[in-house]
Amino acid sequence: MTTTTTRVVDYPPKPVVDRAGLPPGPPEWPLVGQSFKYVFNLLDFIQGAAAYGDLVTLSVKPALVYLVNHPDLVQELFVTNHQKVGRGRITATLQYLMGFGLVTADGPLHLRQRRLMQPQFHHRRIAGYAQTMTDFTRQHEQNWQDGMRIDLAREMSDLTLRIVVKTLFDLELPDTVRRIGAAFELSNNYIKARDNQPPALRRLFHRMPLPFTLRFRHGLSYLDQTVYGLIEERRRTGLETDDLLSLLLNVRDEEAENPDDAVMTDIQVRDEAITLFAAGHETTAVALVWTWYLLATHPEIQSRFHAELDETLGGRTPTPDDLPKLAFTERILTESMRLYPPIWSTGRMTFEPITLGGYDIPAGAALTAPQLNIQRDPRWFDDPLDFRPDRWTPEFRQELPRFAYYPFGGGPRLCIGEGFAWMEAMLVLAALGQRWAMRHDPAHSIELEPLVSLRPKGGMPMFLTRRG
């Protein structure tokens, strides 16, 4: 069985910057800069820092981070300068889990993998997974009862976990799915904990046999054994299924000079599979949770949502052909991901110097463009904290700056699974909304938890009401 190997990347050194020429930013504390606020109150810190301008300097000792708060600057960063920037060392912790998949890869590797994988995510192939999505949704709701109190965060996580394990690996044994989910959850928590540490300390703790680190290694080992075992079996037997793993194994690079380089290595397949797993499970679950929360706390919108489902579907299970007809449901999901983007901030590192907002940004600099800031900016959205699905008219979309709304990122690094995630979220919303109404438990206060995705801290308790 193939095992992971260490892959070394030569990043530009962290720059020495003339602080007199930096963009404005919050005041620094002696010795620690703003690191204390960054670690212990990250969202308030990031959102508060936006008041200092469209490009802001954050002093997170020992590093400087440039905070990008304007759609035009995001476009310059993601599109205009895409050849000069990448993910770099800002995804170093994610690489513990994902290796060098599309989310974390840079340069020629990212371009090659993107070129090979993009054509496979066409509409017809994605639509082929719709039946699995709706079947699993119907199975999942069988355990629900009228008046029942559930943790919707856990319910949506369990449901999307089953869907992604089936569509990615063609696995559905409950114990296997549970263990894969537990290993991923442990990895997610580990990544967030390590991300909050200075890089030198992070690397030190990652090498030490600490209990948290050992548990992470154990969980990651199970994921690796599962994925590499499936890869070895498929290569040995020639077995082909309709899952995404078969897609990865069958991709061929027609531009490769050496036939041996025309297919992905086992390591590349593993890294892309884990990356697709993370994107297909975590972010979709979080998007669904926040959408149900907004529906539950806006009864009039939830009633209109139910009316559209009843009129369009007439009680039958939704299919991809129905999605264009569910215009109000689409606006609900769009507005939900504006207010609560699952990926709440997107980072880049400069590989070459760039100019942004009139400032010279050196090679090796870290920049972050938080969707949570820009998508709640009153310059682009009236009453930005209000849940208003009806704002998303064709005219409004046309007038909106390109990067005032980018829950799936943008430019050459636009999320390759956007179509898959969007279809899954719409089908799950429609299938469950046909039969259930949600009411949020008023005893539970909502608090944002910025992990890899924007989760609700402490879950999302809901009361179920059976419709009809």
Tell me the C-alpha distance between 109 and 112, whole Å.
5
pLDDT at 192: 78
Q: Is the model's pLDDT at 174 over the cut of 60?
A: yes
Whether residue 15 is predicted with pLDDT greater than 90 in this model: the reply is no
Q: State the average pLDDT for the chain.
A: 90
- Using alpha carbons, select from 52, 82, 78 the residue that is nearest to residue 67: 52
Between 203 and 222, the higher pLDDT residue: 222
pLDDT for 60-90, tens place per residue?
A: 766 788 999 999 999 999 999 999 999 988 8
Q: Where residue 436 falls among pLDDT bands split at 50, 70, 90?
A: very high
Across the range 167-188, mean pLDDT stands at 91
Q: Which pLDDT belongs to residue 272?
A: 95
pLDDT at 30: 61
What mean pLDDT do residues 225-235 have?
A: 94
Q: What is the mean pLDDT of residues 153-168?
A: 96
Please name the amino acid found at residue 6. T
Q: Where are the alpha helices (DSSP H) in 349-460?
A: 371-374, 394-399, 418-433
* pLDDT over 60 (residue 3): no
Q: Quote the tokens at residue 103.
A: 């989310």
3-class secondary-structure state, position 1: coil
- Going by C-alpha positions, the residue among 66, 31, 63 that lies closest to residue 46 is 66
Residue 354 has pLDDT above 60, yes or no: yes
Mean pLDDT of 5-9: 47
Record: fold of 19-466: Cytochrome p450 (1.10.630)
Higher pLDDT, 408 or 9: 408
Residue 4: what pLDDT? 42
Contacts of 463 (CB under 8 A, 6+ apart): 147, 148, 149, 438, 439, 440, 441
pLDDT exceeds cutoff 70 at 92: yes
Query: Across residues 329-350, what is the average pLDDT?
Result: 96
Q: What is the reported pLDDT for 76?
A: 97
Contact 373, 69 (CB under 8 A): yes
Residue 6 has pLDDT above 50, yes or no: no
- Cβ count within 10 A of residue 446: 12
Q: pTM here?
A: 0.92
The residue ranges of every structural domain in the chain are 19-466
pLDDT tier for residue 21 given thresholds of 50, 70 and 90: confident
Residue-wise pLDDT tens digits, 251-271: 988 888 888 788 999 999 999
Which SS3 state, helix, strand or coil, does residue 46 take? Answer: helix
- Residue 457 · residue 433 · CB < 8 Å: no
Q: CB of 449 within 8 A of CB of 457? A: yes
Q: Which amino acid is at 38?
A: Y
What is the pLDDT at residue 260?
Answer: 76
Give the H/E segment covering residue 459.
none
Q: Record the tokens describing residue 28, joined without a space.
A: 């620094």
User: What's the pLDDT at 312?
Assistant: 98
Residue 204: what pLDDT? 84
Nearest CA-CA partner of 426 in 297, 314, 327, 302: 327
The predicted-structure confidence for 310-328, as pLDDT tens digits, reads as follows: 999 999 999 999 999 999 9
> Residue 147 carries which side chain, given as an amino acid letter?
G
For residue 388, count CB atoms less than 10 angstroms from its CB and return exposed for 0-12, middle for 13-18, buried for 19 or more.
middle
Q: Output the pLDDT for position 256.
A: 83
**Residue 295, pLDDT score:** 98
